[in-house]
Structure 1
Amino acid sequence: MNIKSLLLGSAAALAVVSGAQAADAIVAAEPEPMEYVRVCDAFGTGYFYIPGTETCLQIGGWVRAQVDFGRDADSQSGNDYDMRASALITVDAKSDTELGVLQSFIALESDISVNGAEQGFYADEAYLALGGFKAGWFYSWWDLGIAGETDGLGNDTEFVSFAYTYAADAFSIGVSVDEINGTSANTDIGLAGTVTATFGPASIAILGGYDFDVEEGAVRAIASADVGPGTFYLAGVYASDANVYYDAAEWTIAASYAFKATDKLTITPGIQYWDNVDFVDGTDDFTYGITLDYKPVENLLARVSLQHNDESDDTYGYFRLQRAF
């Protein structure tokens, strides 16, 4: 075999080997594009776009540990104190449409008391809204009160409702149709309406409700104004008789002052007076107390509520730690 034949044979062998290796080579797949979560700032902080949609989602809630004492305590051992915990998870979805903001909101709450006997989540709120319309299970305007923990300005405050609110810069008006737990053969429907107005550092909210089941109603007004280093609140309620919106007394008046002692500490004394309690002529009652709110760090609240009722001569309240997110 001459040198020429040897070279040609070697080249042929290399070509065969190279072809076999090329056939067995692994080709890396092209990476698929990833869609990262985008921040949505159209509706405030904490919202992000659900990937692949134009819907903004916010997840929030709080975790709470609390010790009740006095008449509000519900200890199975019969003690005048009770330690308990609770948690709330909220899911809020919003998107812009040609008819306004479309929203769906869910709040799930769990309460845990002695030995965890009350564990399990339940729907605290569940509603949808479009523009000014709102429908579902949610807290009504009767749930709103003044600063502090002394006042009681509503009876039942959560219903399955259909509501509409028109809001301008310093003015709003709203109406709701509420399903109530009626006890008579009449219509189990309630009707509520509210008007609010803001005048610089002052505001006023007037609310009325009519219970078609018992054919009685109630009217409430709440006013507030910035005074010195805090905010002063004044409220009053009149009811024609006991109804789903208010049933404590024929009329009542309450006041409180949220004093901003420091950036972290707010002190709120309050008082409430009732006349014709339980709609019995000549009966009256009052409660006075104080609420301390301290925020050692952002999103953490320590609250102490201390109240005293004149008619029962009972002192009661709670200590609470709550972390919001």
Structure 2
Amino acid sequence: MNIKSLLLGSAAALAAVSGAQAADAIVAAEPEPLEYVRVCDAFGTGYFYIPGTETCLKISGFIRFQTTFGEDQSGSSDWDAFSRGFIAFDAKSDTEFGTLTGFFAIEADQDNQNSNNFKVDEAYIQLGGFKVGSFWSWWDKGLNGETDINGNDTTKFNSVAYLYDGGTFQAGVAVEELEGVTSKPNGVGVSAIVSASLGGVSFDLLGSYDSEVEEGAIRGLVSADLGPGVLQALAIWSSDPNAYWSVSEWSVAASYRFNATEKFAITPGAQYFGNIRNGVEFNDAWVGSLGNEGFGNGDAWKVGITGDYQITEGLATRVTVNYTEVDYDTPIAGAQDDFISGFVRLQRDF
């Protein structure tokens, strides 16, 4: 009896163990953990990896409310308020040819005169120093503050550009489509820039040629850290009105950004325009459309001051006031020869 009982007990135990193993075999596996967004610090702050890829993406933008003031800002009114939304997507990844970038930005304005005006700000592809697409040209770079005019408001083109970056020295060339800027078809422009920086001083020399009107322009810009701020100056010369500069034959400007505190800065600025364009009203927001008018013998000058205050992280305000005086070579009916203009801005960046 003892041997029989032992055999039966052993068989029951083996059956129990086998049953437990069989039960374990059919239990569903636990789900794999989700792949959370990972921070990408290879290209600066704000980037994260797109899940499942080695591409880093940064989403940024701003919301702006602004009220401008001055002569005839909106129809017969001397002031105009508008709101603007701007959002940008910047995708980057490392390749054997350098950093590959895809950039797209769009903005939309809302005011009583122009509702829901959506437009592409920039859209381009860049691989290393090679860049193609629609982007602002090197003429868009200006001085601190809001007093200077540094290029026509049409200096954003569909372009092919290459920029060599040697650290303290840069050099670049761009071929730009000028279609629609002048009245002639098949417009092509060429721009070249050299830049150098040493310590707190940097210098840019930029030249552009508009093949449609067969005219060109040159601009030099210098920036230097000086005391508690930044001193900047520029000089422009143009052979005649063209897609890059059509305001005057020559111009000089300067500004100084004084950083009063970590949150508050004041920037006074001034600009002089020699031999301004004939037959075109000189205004604070210059419109660079081209006609048949050449430069004349009139001149203009402009002085102003801009204040910036960082209210809190991501929220800032900017206020600017400018005074402009114009001496037309030939009087233009209805044109203002002296006026005050400016704006008050509140902007939330993200």
Same fold at TM > 0.5: yes
Greater than 4 Å deviation, 4+ residue runs = 26-29, 184-187
C-alpha contact (below 8 Å) 1:65/1:322 kept by paired residues: yes
Q: Shift in Å at residue 185 of structure 1?
A: 5.1
Q: Shift in Å at residue 47 of structure 1?
A: 0.4
Aligned to 1:166: 164
Letter in 2 for 1:284: D
1:215-261 deviation digits (Å, cap 9, x = unpaired):
00000000111122111111000000000000000000001111111
Q: Shift in Å at residue 183 of structure 1?
A: 3.8
**C-alpha distance in structure 2 between counterparts of 1:143 and 1:204, whole Å:** 15
**C-alpha distance in structure 1 between counterparts of 2:120 and 2:186, whole Å:** 26
Aligned to 1:141: 138
**C-alpha distance in structure 2 between counterparts of 1:165 and 1:72, whole Å:** 41
Letter in 2 for 1:174: G
Aligned to 1:5: none
Aligned to 2:118: 121
Aligned to 1:68: 68
**C-alpha distance in structure 2 between counterparts of 1:258 and 1:272, whole Å:** 15
Give the SS at the match of 2:311.
coil
1:39-65 deviation digits (Å, cap 9, x = unpaired):
100000000000100000000000000
Letter in 1 for 2:87: I
**C-alpha distance in structure 2 between counterparts of 1:185 and 1:321, whole Å:** 40
Q: Structure 1: give runs of 5+ residues left out of the alignment.
A: 1-18
Give the SS at the match of 1:142.
helix
Aligned to 1:189: 188
Q: Shift in Å at residue 127 of structure 1?
A: 0.4
Kindly tell me: are residues 182 and 288 of structure 1, through their superposed partners in 2, closer, same or farther at Cα, counting changes over 3 Å?
closer
Aligned to 2:233: 234
C-alpha contact (below 8 Å) 1:303/1:321 kept by paired residues: yes
Paired residue total: 300
Q: Shift in Å at residue 128 of structure 1?
A: 0.6
**C-alpha distance in structure 1 between counterparts of 2:72 and 2:66, whole Å:** 12
C-alpha contact (below 8 Å) 2:241/2:295 kept by paired residues: no
**C-alpha distance in structure 2 between counterparts of 1:28 and 1:184, whole Å:** 72
| Percent sequence identity over aligned pairs | 51
Aligned to 2:81: 83
Letter in 1 for 2:262: D
TM-score by length of 2: 0.82
TM-score by length of 1: 0.88
**C-alpha distance in structure 2 between counterparts of 1:296 and 1:177, whole Å:** 41
C-alpha contact (below 8 Å) 2:240/2:295 kept by paired residues: no
**C-alpha distance in structure 1 between counterparts of 2:95 and 2:339, whole Å:** 53
Q: Answer yes or no: is 1:308 the counterpart of 2:323.
A: yes
Give the SS at the match of 1:54.
coil
C-alpha contact (below 8 Å) 1:182/1:213 kept by paired residues: no
C-alpha contact (below 8 Å) 1:186/1:214 kept by paired residues: no
Aligned to 2:307: 292
**2:298 pairs with one of 276, 279, 283:** 283
C-alpha contact (below 8 Å) 1:239/1:251 kept by paired residues: yes
Q: Answer yes or no: is 1:318 the counterpart of 2:315.
A: no
**1:100 pairs with one of 93, 98, 101:** 98
Kindly tell me: are residues 182 and 90 of structure 1, through their superposed partners in 2, closer, same or farther at Cα, counting changes over 3 Å?
closer
Kindly tell me: are residues 169 and 245 of structure 1, through their superposed partners in 2, closer, same or farther at Cα, counting changes over 3 Å?
same
Q: Structure 2: give runs of 5+ residues left out of the alignment.
A: 1-18, 278-293, 327-336
**C-alpha distance in structure 2 between counterparts of 1:48 and 1:280, whole Å:** 51
Kindly tell me: are residues 97 and 173 of structure 1, through their superposed partners in 2, closer, same or farther at Cα, counting changes over 3 Å?
same
